[in-house]
A and B are shown apart, each in its own frame.
Chain A
């Protein structure tokens, strides 16, 4: 099976050196580690916003960066979705326009809006369609940002500390929502966070970062079964 993402790159910035190599097959991989260890830099490299010094990156089996062969696909051609820490929604367009702008698999304004609307429903933001980003709360904004990131039918979605700018309460609420939307969409995801709880709750695989290197990879043990929430009698303790 082709990997959703294969990364093997190095990059120097000042005195900092990033040297990482990992692979994502499916599901959500979390880049976890303290601040300043190169996690967001890795995302920027995957997205094509920055070029590595050496190495290769492939998305869904397609080489998008190869320093030796001088291959560097532009961010717009990489078929990725990106969710930023502060949303970065276009302030002068409505919510539905923001999401519709990301839709590229269909043509025509109405078709795009329909796709956008369905995504807004999936993230629980259907009622916000005609609002302006400046009028949204932090949690609402990130929901819209998530919808925008997924609406373009990407092969991979990147989330750069999507919940870090939110209040603790909102953050906890949003975790379940994010997890649900991403897993049900089936799109492989790479998520950056420095919050351990978040990493455990959102990830299928945790890739640990320290000082510009990957120090370990481990799968997340999931103890919950789908009916956990409503029916105690079906609950089984996992081994």
Chain B
């Protein structure tokens, strides 16, 4: 029984029609949006480019950190009992409903060079972590982390343990079992977590405002800029850019998670 392995599963007739309609609508909408976007972008490049590029850098860095730590945390929670497990679970889930300003407040407390912890961190890292892009990265990363972790945990728990058992008998050390068996089989769920995490990181507002300080050129991400220029014409362009970034991030991660090896 030989089956051709294509990138996409072969769609049925009805699905094809639905897909066509969806593509047409999307194309039209995107066309409009892109045209408006291009016009606005060109007109307001000066004002918009700063926040846009900053958001790009901040969100990418934040997602890198949140993704790796989230998957690691999810793996640990899924796999074993260890001291501090309850702590990881609760603290890791806090940012989901903790008000962003509260998170910003405590991040400020922890990272400020004035405090003991903050002073230590500042010395270790080499430069201050507040009122600059590093602070923004931390705020966005903390916002995205719980989603990545929870999704990763659920996905990893869903992997058939018998396959991991078989891999162990084949002689693979634990880390190889994780890399070769567990994580690849959990990639769908992990991808979903990264998707929603990146949406969170891109849109982070409250904590970024407090930890970053909304400094023009330094810490004014798109979310903040939209509010600051609420009464100006650039606002719509910024909103479009942010929404587009979110859509692209989510599609990109979704595709990556879906691809067969």
Does any Cβ of A come within 8 Å of B5's Cβ? yes
Does any Cβ of A come within 8 Å of B227's Cβ? no
Residues of A within 8 A of B261 (CB): 92-93
Q: Which of B169-199 contact A (CB under 8 A)?
A: 169-173, 180-181, 184-185
- Min C-beta distance of B171 to chain A, whole Å: 5
The reply to whether A75 and B185 contact each other, CB–CB distance below 8 Å, is no
Residue-wise, chain B 148-172 has the 8 Å CB interface mask toward A (1 for contact) of 0000000000000011011111111
| Given A90-B181, A93-B261, CB of A76 within 8 Å of CB of B173 | yes
Does any Cβ of B come within 8 Å of A185's Cβ? no
The reply to whether B165 and A135 contact each other, CB–CB distance below 8 Å, is no
CA gap between A80 and B165 in the complex, in Å: 13
Does any Cβ of A come within 8 Å of B81's Cβ? no
Residues of B within 8 A of A131 (CB): 2
8 Å CB contact of B260 from A78, A92, A101: A92
Main secondary structure of the interface of A (DSSP, over half): loop
Does any Cβ of A come within 8 Å of B3's Cβ? yes
Residue-wise, chain B 131-152 has the 8 Å CB interface mask toward A (1 for contact) of 0000000000000000000000
The reply to whether A101 and B185 contact each other, CB–CB distance below 8 Å, is no
The reply to whether B171 and A102 contact each other, CB–CB distance below 8 Å, is yes
| Given A135-B1, A137-B1, CB of A92 within 8 Å of CB of B184 | yes
Does any Cβ of B come within 8 Å of A2's Cβ? no
- Min C-beta distance of A132 to chain B, whole Å: 7
Interface with B: A30-38, A63-71, A81-89, A213-221, which one?
A81-89
CA gap between A132 and B181 in the complex, in Å: 15
Residue-wise, chain B 91-112 has the 8 Å CB interface mask toward A (1 for contact) of 0000000000000000000000
Residues of A within 8 A of B167 (CB): 90, 101
Interface centre among B165, B168, B171 (most CB of A within 10 A): B171
| Given A84-B162, A90-B181, CB of A132 within 8 Å of CB of B169 | no
The reply to whether A92 and B5 contact each other, CB–CB distance below 8 Å, is no
| Given A88-B163, A93-B261, A132-B5, CB of A75 within 8 Å of CB of B184 | no
| Given A88-B162, A90-B163, A132-B5, CB of A74 within 8 Å of CB of B260 | no
A to B contact number (C-beta, < 8 Å)? 57
- Min C-beta distance of A45 to chain B, whole Å: 13
Residues of A within 8 A of B162 (CB): 84, 88
8 Å CB contact of B166 from A79, A88, A132, A137: A88
Does any Cβ of B come within 8 Å of A104's Cβ? yes
| Given A91-B185, A93-B261, CB of A101 within 8 Å of CB of B169 | no
- Min C-beta distance of B145 to chain A, whole Å: 27
8 Å CB contact of A47 from B5, B163, B169, B260: B169
| Given A88-B163, A90-B163, A92-B261, CB of A102 within 8 Å of CB of B5 | no
CA gap between A81 and B180 in the complex, in Å: 18
Does any Cβ of B come within 8 Å of A148's Cβ? yes
Q: Which residue of A lies closest to B168 (CB)?
A: A75
- Min C-beta distance of A107 to chain B, whole Å: 13
| Given A90-B163, A92-B185, A92-B261, CB of A135 within 8 Å of CB of B169 | no
| Given A75-B168, A76-B169, A148-B170, CB of A135 within 8 Å of CB of B184 | no
Residues of B within 8 A of A (CB): 1-3, 5, 162-163, 165-173, 180-181, 184-185, 260-261
Residues of A within 8 A of B (CB): 47, 49, 74-82, 84, 88, 90-93, 101-102, 104, 131-132, 135, 137, 148, 152
Q: A82-B169, A82-B170, A102-B170 are in contact. List 12 more A-B contacts (CB 8 A).
A: A49-B168, A74-B168, A75-B165, A76-B168, A77-B171, A81-B170, A82-B166, A93-B261, A101-B180, A131-B2, A132-B5, A152-B170
